[in-house]
Amino acid sequence: MKMNKLSQNKIIQIFEIFKQANPEPTTELIFKTPFELLVSVVLSAQATDVGVNKATAKLFKVANTPEDILALDLGGLEEYIKSIGLYKTKAKNIIGLCKILLDKYNSQVPDSFEQLLELPGVGRKTANVVLNTLFGHNLIAVDTHVFRVSNRIGLTHGKNVAEVETQLMQNIPVKYQCNAHHWLILHGRYICKARAPQCSACPINKYCNFFIF
């Protein structure tokens, strides 16, 4: 059954509740530098943040710059990330992006969407996460949590990631857009879960189209 679109007033109420509960939300990936975040986000595709953090805790102690990663070589990098799904492909991508960062950007993470997309393993979602988290751009990366929550509660009615991203940027007031990505992920991860949403404990249930009193 298709849910009705939330009114602008309800959307504002939802994000005010998120803001009051968590004024400065951020990623649960653990990082100290822009490069560490970039690598962590690349590793996080089809993996949990918890799993990524366990692997990078060991990796970043010995290699947390493009130069250090390249010194490990492909086989050495794989040993550190082999607990993560698709680790062989991700290792190749990380080696590739390290070479580009070293050759073109003086080992710095670029703050351009187009430049980020040139890096192996970096798609639209990853670029949005990096630009939003590191540089404060008003962008919303749509992962499985954001996609599910947005459609479930009535923020969007998108059939694919691109539609949901476009609708979120249209429907969410600008003043909430920078943090919206993190709020929606956290809500989906801990409250609005895929199989057993905790509706009775949800702080936004009276504004949500999914919840039935």
- 129-155 pLDDT tens trace: 999 999 999 999 999 999 999 999 999
CA distance 172 to 166: 10
pLDDT at 209: 86
Q: For position 212, what pLDDT does the model report?
A: 58
DSSP state of 120: T
- Tell me what pLDDT residue 193 has: 95
Express each pLDDT in 150-202 by its tens digit.
999 999 999 999 999 999 999 999 999 999 999 999 999 999 999 999 999 99
Percent above pLDDT 90 for the chain: 95
> Letter for the amino acid at 124?
R
Catalytic residue, chosen from 125, 175, 193, 206, is: 125
Q: Annotated catalytic residue: which of 49, 90, 99, 143?
A: 143
CB 94 within 8 A of CB 69: yes
- For the cut 70, the answer to whether the pLDDT of residue 205 exceeds it is yes
> Exposure string (b/e) for 171-209, b if CB count within 10 Å is 16 or more?
bbeeebbbbbbbbbbbbbbebbeeeebeeeebebbebbb
pLDDT of residue 3: 57
What rounded mean pLDDT belongs to the chain?
Answer: 95
Instruction: Quote the tokens at residue 99.
Output: 């070479």
pLDDT single digits (tens) 96-135: 999 999 999 999 999 999 999 999 999 999 999 999 999 9
Contact 149, 192 (CB under 8 A): yes
Angle made by CA atoms 26, 140, 50, in degrees to the nearest 5: 40
The residues near 7 (Cβ < 8 Å, ≥ 6 apart) are: none
Q: What one-character DSSP code corresponds to residue 196?
A: S
* Upper half-sphere CA count for residue 213 (Cβ side, 13 Å): 5
Q: Average pLDDT in the 81-103 region?
A: 97
Domains of the chain in start order, with CATH, are: 8-26+139-207 (1.10.1670.10), 34-135 (1.10.340.30)
Mean pLDDT of 71-84: 98
User: pTM for this structure?
Assistant: 0.92
What pLDDT digit, counting tens, does each position of 17-75 carry? 999 999 999 999 999 999 999 999 999 999 999 999 999 999 999 999 999 999 999 99
Residue burial 67-95, b: 16+ Cβ < 10 Å; e: rest = eebbebeeeebbebbeebeebeebbebbb
Specify whether 32 is catalytic. no
- Examine the residue annotation and report whether 73 is marked as an active-site residue of this protein: no
Residue 142 CA to residue 124 CA, distance in Å, equals 9
